Amino acid sequence: MTGGGLLVAGTTSDAGKSVVTAGICRWLVRQGVKVAPFKAQNMSLNSFVTREGAEIGRAQAMQAQACRVEPTALMNPVLLKPGGEQSSQVVLLGKPVGELSARGYHGGRQQKLLGTVLDCLAELRGTYDAVICEGAGSPAEINLRRTDIVNMGIARNARIPVLVVGDIDRGGVFASFFGTVALLSPEDQALVAGFLVNKFRGDVSLLEPGLDMLHGLTGRSTYGVLPFQHGLGIDEEDGMGVRNSRASAPVGEDVLRVAVCAIPLMSNFTDVDALAAEPGVVVRFVDRPEELADADLVIVPGTRGTVRALDWLHERGLAHALVRRAAEGRPVLGICGGFQILGEHIEDEVESRQGQVEGLGVLPVRVRFAREKTLTRPVGEALGEPVEGYEIHHGVAEVHGGEAFLDGCRVGQTWGTHWHGSLESDGFRRAFLREVAAAAGRRFVPAPDTSFAALREEQLDRLGDLIEQHADTDALWRLIESGAPQGLPFIPPGAPA
């Protein structure tokens, strides 16, 4: 028996598809429904490693957590990781299969992957009661419809209904809803069941006349109006910002200031979310050397372009500031690509193909880029505390000095590791912050009871509450179980020939 399905599309990128999908997933699982997330094709530098060693988008890993299931490669069969020269690394079923330009991908390769993504979706629907799919961008990108495998392409082939999400906070939501439907072919329009308004501020009664007019114009219902709430953008694909931030006062006398270098092609900047979850820790992204002056900790994060990021640090004057800071014994943490940048030299014939490049030289590390990507979920101990994380990198580090630190090393107050997600381990995070505070001379004390996992669960429950309290859940379930309503009207002009 095939489980029910729903595709959450959006009028634009960042309309809220990821969080709405997670909210629907959490609402369903609380009703006892066995549910899974799915995104046929994801473009993101924020990725995650599943237990079987497959790389998928972090948004789908977050949605799997909303479903209370273990994430797998089936949930995100195609992941595109943007790189230099307008190209992306193509990750298929969790493993990299090559680099392609946008023209090369949309020119033929994408359509050839349709069978693979449909097989993955069918396998999920055969295992779960419901599969909630997330679209990408807008389903009305008429220049890409012919080769689409993530929006109406997947909906048409799998015969699943579509819910279109619009961000009313940006304005123009009625025109966006109408225009999205009106630019689809009759066959595509027949699957667009209706709309969901996201990020509404104010009195819903003032919006209702517009929703009634929208129904009159399109013959389609609005399935809910979700109010604007801060702090819900967890593990999004491309929206850089600090999530999980807690405004509560510090436990000690001082706050701790963390500056994250906003390097090009930054990947997995979600690593700092766990720091922002700590009361009294202030996290900001920076791109000027003077912004490092008052920071108690500077983080050089991961990147899909290590050599390019290194060049950028030199161009901005940040490289010199980082070297000086390390020499002064002021805390610096390099994660993945940032760890490689802090080393002595980099031999790269894979990512940038620039050969041997000198690093910042503050850690005794030599890095050689291998064609095979490391994808692991390591577990260990550091600073006397258990810690776990995940690794996603081509660079192989040879450490020849310093004090052992996870898979990397530490020299003075400069730390480096390939491990993403290590700061989500509560005991380790607190121990690390105590070391940073002592080195920075701050009277900062980590809160003894901050649980990052519990905070994440709270956020997912808030998303589920949004759906349960502000959406027509009975109508949503009918969509998931029975498909789009019959007889939905065609809205001209339809898709251009």
Q: Of 477, 419, 397, 411, which is closest to residue 439 (Cα–Cα)?
A: 411
As a whole number of angstroms, the distance between CA 245 and CA 450 comes to 12
- Selecting among 336, 394, 418, 470, the annotated active-site residue is 336
| Number of C-beta neighbours around residue 454 at 10 A | 12
CA 289 to chain centre: 27
As a whole number of angstroms, the distance between CA 477 and CA 465 comes to 16
* Backbone φ/ψ region at 356: left (φ over 0), alpha (ψ -120 to 50), beta: beta
Query: Tokens standing for 338?
Result: 């940032």
Q: Is 261 a catalytic residue?
A: no
CA 411 to chain centre: 31
DSSP 8-state class, residue 485? P
Amino acid sitting at position 274: A
Query: Tokens standing for 42?
Result: 């994801």
CA 135 to chain centre: 14
Q: Of 263, 301, 305, which is closest to residue 88 (Cα–Cα)?
A: 305
Q: Where are the alpha helices (DSSP H) in 317-374?
A: 318-327, 337-341
As a whole number of angstroms, the distance between CA 454 and CA 447 comes to 14
As a whole number of angstroms, the distance between CA 242 and CA 265 comes to 17
Q: Is 215 a catalytic residue?
A: no
The residues with which 366 forms a beta bridge, in sequence order, are 345, 398
Q: Of 253, 270, 269, 252, which is closest to residue 261 (Cα–Cα)?
A: 269
At residue 414, the 3 state secondary structure works out as strand
Query: Tokens standing for 449?
Result: 């009871």
As a whole number of angstroms, the distance between CA 308 and CA 327 comes to 24
Q: Where are the alpha helices (DSSP H) in 90-245?
A: 102-104, 110-112, 114-127, 152-158, 173-182, 186-189, 204-218
Query: Tokens standing for 56?
Result: 């998928």
User: Which whole-number Å values give the CA distances from 348 to 97, 128, 161, 408, in the listed order?
Assistant: 18, 43, 46, 19
- CB-count burial class (<10 Å; 0-12, 13-18, 19+) for 163: buried
As a whole number of angstroms, the distance between CA 124 and CA 144 comes to 26
User: Which whole-number Å values give the CA distances from 486 to 23, 187, 208, 372, 489, in the listed order?
Assistant: 26, 12, 24, 50, 9
> Which residues does the annotation mark as catalytic?
336, 420
